[in-house]
């Protein structure tokens, strides 16, 4: 999922998909259901990266939030030259749905980890939906940088790196730990329905939740 | 979620067809539905068919409970020749131009973007689909460059000026008003082929 035309930066493959779809116009009747002859393998029956079920933080694992934010900022600063190179090369970036400056991602997220629900700086967009956009911007910043810098296109590798190996990933798992014990229904919904951390394709829901929202 | 995406595409397609008598391309959405959800691809290059029972628990539970709607008397029009096709994309990826209002979590509205727009952001509620691909290449979900090349090569007639995005995780029934508005815009622009692309 997320790869409707099959492969990024592969114009010929993308055109094959389009042509195969348009060729169905030649059929006499419809609707039609037709398989594309080529299949891109997926891992373990899942259509996207999924966090290992055992990789769950509790609130007692979070530690000093200021130190964690500082570590994330250091990580972000280190990635910046490669991120800028990626943007220059591609001529575009998907980072920015939140309209937050990159340097403000981690500090904003950390407020929620501290138990605050800050006032949203964006008119018409409440704080928690904005938080979700900041989280997605943070991940996009990392993965846009890495896919360009290392010339790799591997969603499993990207997910594992970001969520399991980076300080930013740990920051977000800390946010998840706070959310799951939150008495705010929207914060709880974010984790119940895997709207932030990628657990939809995990072998089991986040402990403490039922995944009943799905 | 994925079922909704595909069912949405089918729904929108039929509604547009009924509204404007344009030809509708349902093939890709249906293809993806079948490929990923019904047959579920292959695993790790072993080329074994994956069944719903083999999917991870959360996704398996959700998908197993999906219900397929039935459509009575669906519209099906005779396509125009390929060289006369004016193609507009409808995506469920919840992409929009930077600065547009983000999609809400159960959005029933849509966003419009121009064929030359490349500065797009995504505010889809779901995170379980891969986003690293479109970060690398917009064409993997919205193939504007590919369609433009096909138009220049004479494979299709032209690429429409305007293209459309919905938040595909929402209930498609709630999108009917928006679907009518999109169809009306397409009619005004002379679109006769709609390329429905679920995320």
- Are A78 and A173 in a shared domain? yes
pLDDT higher than 90, residue B39 = no
- Are A76 and A34 in a shared domain? no
Place B45 in a pLDDT band, splitting at 50, 70 and 90: very low
Whole-angstrom distance, CA of residue A185 vs CA of residue A213: 12
CA distances for A2 relative to A40, A47, A193, B122, B136, angstroms: 13, 9, 19, 12, 12
Q: Is A67 exposed, middle or buried (0-12, 13-18, 19+ CB in 10 A)?
A: exposed
- Are A74 and A152 in a shared domain? yes
- Are A180 and A126 in a shared domain? yes
SS3 of residue B59 by DSSP: helix
SS3 of residue B158 by DSSP: strand
Mean pLDDT (10-residue bins), chain A, 214 residues: 93 97 88 82 80 92 98 98 98 98 98 96 95 98 98 94 98 96 92 87 70 52
Dihedrals φ, ψ of B143, to 5°? -85, 60
Give me the pLDDT at residue B122, please. Answer: 98
Has the ipTM of the complex gone over 0.90? yes
Contact residues for A7 (Cβ-Cβ < 8 A; gap 6+): A13, A14, A40, A153, B133, B140
Give me the pLDDT at residue A48, please. Answer: 85
- CA-based nearest distance A74→chain B, Å: 23
Structure tokens at B155: 């494979």
Place B15 in a pLDDT band, splitting at 50, 70 and 90: very low
Give me the pLDDT at residue A205, please. Answer: 64
DSSP string for B87-139: EEEEESB-EEETTSPPPPTT---EEEEETT---EEE--S--SS--HHHHH-GG
Residues B94, A164 contacting (CB under 8 angstroms): no
Q: What share of chain B has pLDDT > 70, as a percent?
A: 74
- Are A120 and A148 in a shared domain? yes
Q: Is B35 left (phi over 0), alpha (psi -120 to 50) or beta?
A: alpha
Given an 8 Å threshold on Cβ–Cβ distance, is A214 in contact with B54? Answer: no
Whole-angstrom distance, CA of residue A80 vs CA of residue A52: 28
Q: How many CB atoms lie within 10 A of CB B74?
A: 15
Residue with tokens 């409707």: A4
Residues B29, B196 contacting (CB under 8 angstroms): yes
- Are A77 and A182 in a shared domain? yes
- Are A34 and A63 in a shared domain? no
Structure tokens at A196: 């932030």
Q: Is B13 exposed, middle or buried (0-12, 13-18, 19+ CB in 10 A)?
A: buried
pLDDT higher than 90, residue B109 = yes
Q: What is the pLDDT of residues A47-103, one digit of tens each?
A: 789 899 889 999 999 999 999 999 999 999 999 999 999 999 999 999 999 999 999
- CA-based nearest distance B108→chain A, Å: 16
Domain-located, residue A200:
no
Whole-angstrom distance, CA of residue B143 vs CA of residue A7: 11
Q: B193 pairs with which residues across the strands?
A: B23, B87
Domain-located, residue A125:
yes
Given an 8 Å threshold on Cβ–Cβ distance, is B62 in contact with A214? Answer: yes
- Are A10 and A74 in a shared domain? no
Q: What share of chain B has pLDDT > 90, as a percent?
A: 56
Domain-located, residue A54:
no
Q: What is the pLDDT of residues B54-87, one digit of tens each?
A: 677 777 777 788 777 777 877 777 889 999 999 9
- Are A83 and A116 in a shared domain? yes
Residues A36, B162 contacting (CB under 8 angstroms): no
Q: For residue B24, what is the enclosing H or E element?
A: strand B23-25
Question: How many domains does chain A fold into?
Answer: 2
Give me the pLDDT at residue B81, please. Answer: 95
The answer, for B58 touching chain A at a CB cutoff of 8 Å, is yes
- Are A67 and A26 in a shared domain? no
SS3 of residue B25 by DSSP: strand
Residues B124, B94 contacting (CB under 8 angstroms): yes
* B24 vs A167: which has the higher pLDDT: A167
Given an 8 Å threshold on Cβ–Cβ distance, is B105 in contact with A129? Answer: yes
Domain-located, residue A201:
no
Domain-located, residue A50:
no
Quick one: average pLDDT of B108-116? 98
Q: B164 pairs with which residues across the strands?
A: B90, B112
Given an 8 Å threshold on Cβ–Cβ distance, is A200 in contact with B82? Answer: no
Give me the pLDDT at residue A117, please. Answer: 95
Domain span at residue A69 reads: 59-192
Domain-located, residue A127:
yes
Residues B50, B42 contacting (CB under 8 angstroms): yes
Given an 8 Å threshold on Cβ–Cβ distance, is A158 in contact with B132? Answer: yes
Contact residues for A16 (Cβ-Cβ < 8 A; gap 6+): A6, A38
Residues 163-192 of B with CB under 8 A from A: none
Residue with tokens 């929009």: B96
Place B14 in a pLDDT band, splitting at 50, 70 and 90: very low
User: To probe the interface with B, which of A4, A34, A93, A214 has the most B CB atoms within 10 Å?
Assistant: A4
- CA-based nearest distance A12→chain B, Å: 9
Domain-located, residue A67:
yes
Alpha helices in chain A (DSSP H): 11-23, 65-90, 105-113, 127-149, 155-160, 167-180, 185-192
Give me the pLDDT at residue A20, please. Answer: 96
- Are A29 and A105 in a shared domain? no
Strand pairing report for B162-166 and B110-114 = antiparallel
- Are A76 and A124 in a shared domain? yes
pLDDT higher than 70, residue B42 = no
Given an 8 Å threshold on Cβ–Cβ distance, is A1 in contact with B43? Answer: no
Q: What is the pLDDT of residues B135-190, one digit of tens each?
A: 999 999 999 999 999 999 999 999 999 999 999 988 888 999 999 999 999 999 99
Whole-angstrom distance, CA of residue B108 vs CA of residue A67: 41
């Amino acid at each position: 999922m997320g790869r409707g035309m099959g492969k990024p930066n592969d114009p010929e493959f993308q055109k094959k998909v389009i042509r195969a779809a348009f060729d169905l116009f030649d059929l006499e009747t419809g609707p039609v259901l037709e398989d594309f002859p080529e299949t891109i393998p997926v891992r373990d029956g899942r259509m996207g990266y999924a966090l290992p079920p055992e990789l769950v933080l509790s609130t007692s694992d979070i530690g000093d939030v200021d130190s964690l934010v500082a570590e994330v900022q250091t990580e972000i600063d280190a990635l910046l030259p490669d991120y800028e190179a990626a943007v220059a090369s591609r001529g575009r970036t998907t980072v920015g749905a939140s309209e937050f400056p990159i340097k403000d991602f981690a500090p904003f997220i950390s407020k929620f980890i501290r138990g605050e629900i800050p006032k949203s700086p964006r008119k018409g967009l409440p704080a928690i939906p904005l938080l979700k956009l900041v989280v997605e911007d943070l991940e996009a910043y990392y993965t846009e940088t890495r896919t360009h810098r290392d010339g790799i296109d591997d969603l499993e590798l990207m997910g594992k790196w970001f969520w399991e190996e980076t300080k930013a990933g740990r920051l977000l798992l800390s946010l998840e730990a706070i959310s799951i014990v939150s008495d705010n229904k929207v914060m709880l919904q974010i984790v119940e329905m895997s709207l932030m951390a990628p657990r939809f394709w995990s072998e089991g829901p986040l402990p403490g939740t039922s995944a009943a929202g799905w | 979620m994925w079922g909704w995406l595909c069912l949405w595409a089918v729904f929108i397609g039929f509604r547009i067809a009924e509204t404007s008598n344009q030809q509708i391309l349902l093939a890709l959405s249906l293809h993806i539905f079948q490929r990923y959800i019904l047959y579920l691809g292959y695993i790790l290059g072993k080329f074994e068919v994956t069944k719903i029972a083999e999917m991870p628990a959360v996704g398996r539970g959700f998908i197993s409970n999906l219900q397929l709607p039935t459509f009575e008397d669906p519209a099906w029009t005779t396509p125009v020749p390929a060289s006369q096709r004016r193609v507009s994309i409808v995506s469920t990826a919840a992409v929009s131009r930077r600065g547009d209002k983000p999609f809400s979590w159960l959005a029933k509205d849509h966003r419009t973007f121009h064929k030359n727009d490349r500065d797009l952001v995504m505010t889809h509620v779901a995170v379980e689909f891969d986003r690293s691909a479109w970060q690398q290449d917009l064409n993997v979900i919205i193939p504007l460059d590919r369609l433009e090349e096909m138009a220049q090569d004479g494979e299709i007639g032209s690429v429409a000026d305007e293209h459309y995005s919905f938040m595909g995780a929402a209930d498609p029934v709630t999108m009917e008003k928006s679907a009518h508005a999109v169809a009306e815009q397409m009619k005004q622009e002379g679109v006769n082929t709609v390329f429905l692309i679920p995320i």
